[in-house]
Amino acid sequence: MDIDLYVEKLAAAALDGATGDGDPARDVSLKGLAVELWADRGGGRCWLVADQADAEIVAKRYGVPAGEIWTSTEIEIVAKIIDPAVVQEVARWKRRLDGTVSGYAPSRQKIRSSAKEAG
């Protein structure tokens, strides 16, 4: 496999599909591709894929735990977090729990203050 050619094709596909306006077209451009990233600092590796279906393929084919695979949706969710420490914490929990990241939905249950409960 010619790694340079592969990276060039991947970059071209990503740029062709990226609209910059939240359009899922970029997911289509990455469909069927997986990028493995290694980090000397911070430890370990992660895989970037278009969607959950591609994540399942990578997990099965390469024996990669779900905690090391990031879909474009997960990246979008985490990219909205301003504090880098929180981003790192989310990544640690994803890896530790071997899970996925999904959107935040606040609880609809109202929390009573202790003063109101006492009265």
Domain ranges of the chain: 3-104
> 46 - beta bridge partners?
37
Report how far residue 55's alpha carbon sits from residue 66's, in angstroms, rounded to the nearest whole number.
7
Q: Let me know: does 90 contact 101? Beta carbons within 8 Å.
A: yes
Name the residue with tokens 């359009």.
23
The pLDDT of residue 7 is 59
Report how far residue 54's alpha carbon sits from residue 61's, in angstroms, rounded to the nearest whole number.
10
Which residues, given as ranges, of the chain have pLDDT below 70? 1-29, 40-43, 104-119
For the entire predicted model, the pTM comes to 0.64
The pLDDT of residue 20 is 44
The pLDDT of residue 41 is 66
